[in-house]
Amino acid sequence: MESTLNVSLSSQVAISRRLETVARNVANMNTVGYRADEVKFSQVLSTAGEDPVSFANGGEIYISRQNGALTKTDNQLDVAVEGEGWFALRTPPGIAYTRDGRLTMGADGVLRSVNDYPVLDAGGLPIALDPEAGPPTIARDGTIFQGGNQLGALGLFSIGAEAKLARLDNSAVIPDQPATPILDFTKDGVVQGYTESSNVNPIREMTRMIELTRTFESISKMVDSGSENQQKVIRELGDSA
């Protein structure tokens, strides 16, 4: 009976963690370039007693790599990525990568993200344009032109599939392995005048939230019932002794 209660409690912990990710995804379903949180679960097998008992672990949270849909804005400082590439930003914690291509250009001409981080080229350097030369034209390979002159190029980077991603400012991530510049723009490229929407599926996430809430409540009832039965057995054994 104690094993049953422990298994139920481990399931509640796993469901609670999944609910946290669902709530975060729903809160960011309109965040440009946001990649949804997912949870990978596995079982933990205990052989401490006579019979093996399978527990649910808390789950490993990871960031989905699935692309979001592209939305046309016609803003020449908006850019989106086609393919698996990422834009690079210089941030206080280090180089971060994002799919949020809403760029801004300050009085100094430096291209920055919406959170005011400098956007980098393939060599890891900030990109400075002429603030008096009007909106830039950005080619698929990231090359930036103003008034017919090439003034730089947006860096596009590849993050290995095995790299673990830590989140920064919702849409940005910091991988635990170095990213590499993309030099072949056959599959990956930049699209000017578009942004990438969040890859969160609102209907699926809301359905998950309802299902998880109901499951959590069912397990809670089972835990309460098991606890009552355990106390009843203890009382009866105590009376018979």
DSSP string, 189-213: EEEETEEEPP---HHHHHHHHHHHH
pLDDT value of position 106: 86
The residue among 143, 128, 144, 150 whose CA lies nearest residue 183 is 143
Continuous segment of H or E residues that includes residue 231: helix 202-240
Per-residue pLDDT of the chain (241 residues; tens, 9 = 90+): 455 555 555 566 677 778 888 989 999 999 999 999 988 755 443 444 454 544 455 567 889 999 999 999 999 999 999 999 999 999 999 999 999 999 999 889 999 999 999 999 999 999 999 998 888 999 999 999 998 899 999 999 999 999 999 999 889 999 999 999 999 999 999 999 999 999 999 998 888 878 877 776 776 666 666 555 556 555 555 555 5
Contacts of residue 23, Cβ cutoff 8 Å, sequence gap at least 6? 209
* Per-residue pLDDT, 49: 47
Find all residues with CB under 8 Å of 237, minimum gap 6, and list them. none
- The answer to whether 223 and 22 have CB atoms below 8 angstroms apart is no
Q: How far is 70 from 197, CA to CA, in rounded Å?
A: 6
Helix %, strand %, coil % of the chain (to 5): 25, 30, 40
pTM above 0.85, yes or no: no
